[in-house]
């Protein structure tokens, strides 16, 4: 079944792709788009099956791919996302612009797994190895090699009922992820990167976004860091301004015409803050263009102060003393209350897909968004020359690109 019927109809090539084949495929897709993958090989004059073409395009030929080795930030993010999502490589890849699920999967299997084991962490469960061993002994029926991720399709009611149990890192039944280990290793840029993931997430209801934001409660202020970037030192908290830390890192001419800052609060069932909303987010997109996205919520000014930070820490249900808490063990009362408002049959997958709508209560509190996005995104890759030019730019700049990233930040007024 893995091979589709089209693959049997004619003798098709297998194995590595030749440059000629690549060129044919690129030419065809840049000109016509892929449309129906099964018809692509015929139209492009390739002796491959549609599936193979699709794979080649997605994993290798796509112009928005970021090539090269994974950065430390990406590595950390993959580990953290894996702790939440398990082996859902496509979902992890969706949060790593320019990376493919295959690439991440390979990187995980070849590098991260080994690294975690060396650190004494079970890569499947993200528990300390000793603890994971005990867990295995208890549940002797569990199969080896399966992902240790929790079942994310947990109804809210179950989430709530499990909240009373296993609070704190000492709990043996609670999967933990030692964020301190990552934190110790993480650079200030790493911390910005987590915000990056939060801001670029498609939905503010996304638990991974919340996860990333929660991570920020540990973050130090980038502006106070030795590695603070030129032009950002004036920012009360540049943490909230860097859409893409890698771009900031590599494009020193990055600028924000107006800087007013305070962290956007998050209309999510899990995280609630009382922070105010007025932010101008300077966003770098595509590695070559900048987009200024102006989000205006309630413009009552406030800055990211220590009280806010504390509040964030308190309202984060994902961390406790630097240990990653799984959602089912959230100690946060607010989160419980919020969750109760959601339908009982709410599935985690809906959160993960960003498909679950904002709660009515949250929506009513939200100010209308004024979103002014100026973008110079490429209009498309109309011919091969354009594509090669972009490839060259990408390669020379070592900056990943993406056709377009929607910035979706909801500001909640409290």
Partner DNA sequence: AATAATATCAACCGCCCACGC
Partner DNA sequence: GGCGTGGGCGGTTGATATTAT
Give the binding site for DNA (CB under 7 A). 1-7, 13-17, 35-38, 48, 50-52, 54-56, 59-60, 69, 87-91, 101-103, 105-107, 109-111, 114, 145-147
Q: From the CB of 114, what's the least distance to DNA, in Å?
A: 6
When the beta carbons of 123 and 284 are compared against DNA, the nearer one is 123
Q: From the CB of 229, what's the least distance to DNA, in Å?
A: 29
- Cα 164 to Cα 116, 194, 282, 311, 330: the distances in Å are 30, 29, 41, 21, 8
Q: From the CB of 10, what's the least distance to DNA, in Å?
A: 13
Q: From the CB of 178, what's the least distance to DNA, in Å?
A: 22
Nearest to 277 by CA among 309, 304, 307, 317: 304
Handedness of CA 90, 92, 94, 96 (dihedral sign): negative
Q: From the CB of 109, what's the least distance to DNA, in Å?
A: 6
When the beta carbons of 107 and 404 are compared against DNA, the nearer one is 107
| H-run or E-run covering 162 | none
Q: Phi/psi zone of residue 353: left (φ > 0), alpha (ψ -120 to 50 degrees), beta? A: alpha
Dmax (CA) for the chain in angstroms is 68
When the beta carbons of 143 and 306 are compared against DNA, the nearer one is 143
- 3-state SS assignment for residue 65: coil
Q: From the CB of 162, what's the least distance to DNA, in Å?
A: 24
Q: How many other C-beta atoms lie within 10 A of the C-beta of residue 222?
A: 26
Helix axes 207-216, 188-200, angle to 10 degrees: 150
The residue behind tokens 């089209």 is: 6
Burial class (CB in 10 A: 0-12, 13-18, 19+), 93: buried
Q: From the CB of 17, what's the least distance to DNA, in Å?
A: 4
When the beta carbons of 33 and 368 are compared against DNA, the nearer one is 33
Q: Helices in 70-206 by DSSP H: which ranges?
A: 72-85, 89-94, 101-107, 113-118, 129-138, 156-161, 179-185, 188-200
Q: From the CB of 167, what's the least distance to DNA, in Å?
A: 30
Nearest to 249 by CA among 187, 185, 184: 187
When the beta carbons of 88 and 246 are compared against DNA, the nearer one is 88
- Cα 342 to Cα 29, 221, 317, 354, 358: the distances in Å are 43, 34, 17, 15, 10
Q: Residue 121 forms beta bridges with which residues?
A: 128
When the beta carbons of 107 and 334 are compared against DNA, the nearer one is 107
Q: From the CB of 171, what's the least distance to DNA, in Å?
A: 26
Token code pair at residue 361: 């209560």
When the beta carbons of 153 and 252 are compared against DNA, the nearer one is 153
When the beta carbons of 105 and 167 are compared against DNA, the nearer one is 105
13-20 CB contacts, 8 Å cutoff, 24+ apart: 13/46, 13/47, 13/48, 14/52, 17/56, 17/60
- 3-state SS assignment for residue 321: coil
When the beta carbons of 104 and 248 are compared against DNA, the nearer one is 104
When the beta carbons of 69 and 306 are compared against DNA, the nearer one is 69
Q: From the CB of 256, what's the least distance to DNA, in Å?
A: 34
């Amino acid at each position: 079944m893995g091979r589709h019927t089209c693959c049997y109809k004619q003798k098709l090539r297998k194995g590595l792709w030749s440059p000629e084949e690549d060129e044919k495929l690129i030419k065809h897709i840049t000109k016509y788009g892929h449309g129906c993958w099964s018809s692509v090989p015929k139209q492009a004059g390739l002796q491959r099956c549609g599936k193979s073409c699709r794979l080649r395009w997605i994993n290798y030929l796509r112009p928005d791919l970021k090539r090269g080795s994974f950065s430390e930030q990406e590595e950390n993010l993959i580990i953290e996302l894996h702790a939440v999502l398990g082996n859902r490589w496509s979902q992890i890849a969706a949060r790593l612009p320019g990376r493919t699920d295959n690439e991440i999967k390979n990187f995980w299997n070849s590098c991260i797994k080994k690294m975690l084991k060396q650190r004494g962490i079970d890569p499947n469960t993200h528990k300390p190895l000793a603890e994971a061993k005990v867990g295995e002994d208890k549940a002797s029926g569990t199969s080896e090699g399966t992902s240790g991720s929790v079942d994310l399709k947990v109804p809210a009611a179950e989430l709530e009922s499990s909240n009373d149990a296993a609070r704190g890192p000492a709990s043996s039944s609670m999967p933990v992820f030692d964020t301190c280990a990552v934190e110790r290793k993480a650079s200030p840029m790493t911390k910005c990167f987590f915000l990056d993931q939060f801001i670029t997430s498609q939905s503010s209801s996304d638990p991974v976004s919340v996860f990333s934001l929660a991570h920020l409660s540990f973050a130090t202020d980038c502006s106070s860091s030795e590695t603070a970037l030129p032009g950002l030192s004036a920012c009360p908290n540049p943490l909230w301004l860097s859409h893409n830390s890698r771009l900031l890192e590599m494009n020193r001419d990055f600028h924000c015409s107006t800087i007013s800052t305070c962290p956007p609060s998050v209309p999510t069932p899990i995280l609630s803050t009382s922070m105010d909303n007025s932010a101008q987010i300077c966003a770098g997109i595509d590695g070559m263009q900048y987009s200024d996205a102006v989000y205006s919520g309630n413009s009552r000014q406030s800055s990211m102060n220590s009280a806010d930070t504390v509040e964030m820490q308190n309202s984060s249900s994902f961390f406790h003393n630097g240990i990653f808490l799984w959602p089912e063990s959230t100690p946060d009362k607010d989160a419980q209350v919020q969750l109760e408002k959601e339908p009982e049959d709410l599935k985690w997958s809906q959160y993960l897909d960003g498909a679950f709508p904002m709660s009515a209560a949250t929506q009513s509190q939200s100010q209308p968004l004024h979103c002014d996005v100026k973008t110079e995104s490429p209009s498309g890759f109309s011919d091969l020359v354009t594509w090669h030019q972009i490839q060259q730019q990408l390669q020379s700049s070592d900056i990943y690109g993406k056709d377009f990233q929607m910035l979706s930040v909801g500001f909640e007024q409290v």
